[in-house]
Amino acid sequence: MRRRQQPPLPKRYGLDPARLRLPEEGNWPSLREHLIHRLPRVEPARIDEMLRAGEIVDLEGPLGLDSPFVPGGAVWFHRDLPAEHPVPFDIPIVYRDDTILIADKPHFLATIPRGSHILQTALVKLRRELDLPDLIPAHRLDRATAGLMLFVIDPASRGAYQTMFQRQHVRKEYEAVAGFRPGLDFPVELVSRIIKEKHILAAQEVAGPPNARTRIELLERRGELGRYRLHPATGRTHQLRLHMNSLGIPILGDDFYPVLTDKQLDDYRRPLQLLAATLEFTDPHTGELRRFETRRSLQAWTDPDGWAAGPAVLAEAAAPAPGHAGGPGSGHAGGPA
């Protein structure tokens, strides 16, 4: 396997520098001219500022305003970060050793840096708070979903744990709160084909060979509400949300299904009532059977009024991002929840 080239810049705020590969052909008179062409959303003045400050580098060191365009070369820099609304919830650690840690992610916190969520993500927060710059998630949870996530501490062990999830060798249980619909018999197993198109927020069920399977049990009923246990056998995007919706009992707090609704990023009321409750697997290194359980509960079941009202302490206005806003890109490369 080809080893990843080590960047010549250290992490900043828990984030790796961006790498920009230069094309093999081109007649730009300088690197500056190419960057202006390549990064149209970045003001030329900001590119000039970064070049003067030595913030854009190659393997030989900092580059300047007069640096030539080198076909096939590569440059690195740290992206300017967007302003973000602080997510005012902790990430408890359920388990930690020298190889892995299990975190209990809150609702409203994205897993990895992407789009408008960069510093306010589980990965970056844990890297910074625990001083673990090489931490990496073995899988993902939706921003709206709370519960257990496995992160790998030891870089040499990443592949084994990520492969374990990719090959669906992890037994997962979720809990959800949704409406109760008379006439539905549980347990029930749903099988369908789910697709998620790029740049479209919601996934959809379509005709065709099935690629998603979920077993759903009713644990308790309380009036018009039910508490459910969900066992996904596959990991399609929004699988559990779509399958609950297909039964006519969408999960409480779901802003995507059945109708996509616009919700402000700093609105922490009515979180999606979906919780990654357990992870169970045979450890790929030790052969030990391991099982972890969340310490969280679903508030719409335990405290319906508090769930609807939102947290007592809300986030303040958007926090100013470190560095400059609007710089060289804030998009970052990104389960069944």
How does pLDDT run across 274-287, given as a tens digit for each residue? 999 999 999 999 99
Percent of the chain with pLDDT over 90: 79
312 and 299 Cβ atoms separated by less than 8 Å: no
**Stretch (H or E) spanning 229:** strand 225-232
pLDDT for residue 313 is more than 80: no
Q: Is the pLDDT at 315 greater than 70, yes or no? A: no
Which segments within the chain are labelled E, that is strand? 18-21, 57-58, 61-62, 74-77, 93-96, 100-105, 136-137, 146-152, 171-179, 188-195, 204-206, 212-222, 225-232, 274-282, 289-293
pTM: 0.84
CA atoms of 172 and 60, how far apart (whole Å) = 47
335 pLDDT band (50/70/90 cuts)?
Answer: low
Phi, psi of 15 (to 5 degrees): -115, 140
Q: By the 8 A CB rule, do 251 and 229 touch?
A: no
- 116, 319 contact by CB (below 8 A): no
Task: Give the pLDDT of residue 222.
Answer: 94
Query: What's the pLDDT score for residue 76?
Result: 97
Q: What is the radius of gyration, based on Cα positions, of the chain?
A: 23
Instruction: Give the DSSP H/E element, type plus range, for residue 38.
Output: helix 31-38
Predicted confidence band of residue 329 (pLDDT cuts 50, 70, 90): very low
- Does pLDDT of 112 surpass 80? yes
| DSSP conformation letters of 63-101 | --TTPPP-TT-EEEEPPPPPPB--------EEEE-SSEE
| CA–CA gap between residue 35 and residue 48 (Å, rounded) | 10
Helical ranges in 108-254 per DSSP H: 122-130, 158-166, 239-246
Provide the token pair at 34: 């190419």
- Total number of residues shown for the chain: 337
pLDDT band at 309 (very low <50, low <70, confident <90, very high): confident
pLDDT for res 320: 53
Residue 4 clears pLDDT 80, i.e. is over it: no
Q: Do domains 18-77 and 93-312 have the same CATH topology?
A: no
**Residue appearing with tokens 């197993």:** 189
- Rounded CA-CA distance 260/197 in Å is 15
Is the previous residue joined to 336 through a cis bond, with omega within 30 degrees of 0?
no
* Average pLDDT of the chain, as a whole number: 90
Q: In this structure, which topology does domain 18-77 adopt according to CATH?
A: 3.10.290
> 148 pLDDT exceeds 50?
yes
* Whole-number pLDDT of residue 191: 97
pLDDT band at residue 332, thresholds of 50, 70 and 90?
Answer: very low
Residue 325 scores a pLDDT above 50: no
Beta strands at 57-58 and 61-62: parallel, antiparallel or unpaired: antiparallel
**Residue range 163-181, pLDDT digits in tens:** 999 999 999 999 999 999 9
User: Tokens 């030990």 — which residue?
Assistant: 288
Inform me whether the pLDDT recorded for 265 exceeds 70.
yes
- How far apart CA 214 and CA 34 sit, in angstroms, is 49
pLDDT in tens, 63-110: 999 999 999 999 999 999 888 989 999 999 999 999 999 999 999 999
What are the residue ranges spanned by the domains of the chain? Answer: 18-77, 93-312
Query: What pLDDT is stored for residue 319 in this prediction?
Result: 52
Band the pLDDT of 225: cuts 50, 70, 90: very high
The CATH number, out of the four listed (3.30.2350.10, 3.10.20.30, 3.30.365.10, 3.40.50.720), of the domain defined by the range 93-312: 3.30.2350.10
What is the per-residue pLDDT for 140? Answer: 93
Residue partners of 237: CB distance under 8 A and separation at least 6: 194, 196, 203, 335, 336
pLDDT, position 333: 34
Residues 146-174, mean pLDDT to the nearest whole number: 96
**Rounded distance between C-alpha atoms, residue 118 and residue 81, angstroms:** 7
pLDDT class for 228, splitting at 50, 70, 90?
Answer: very high
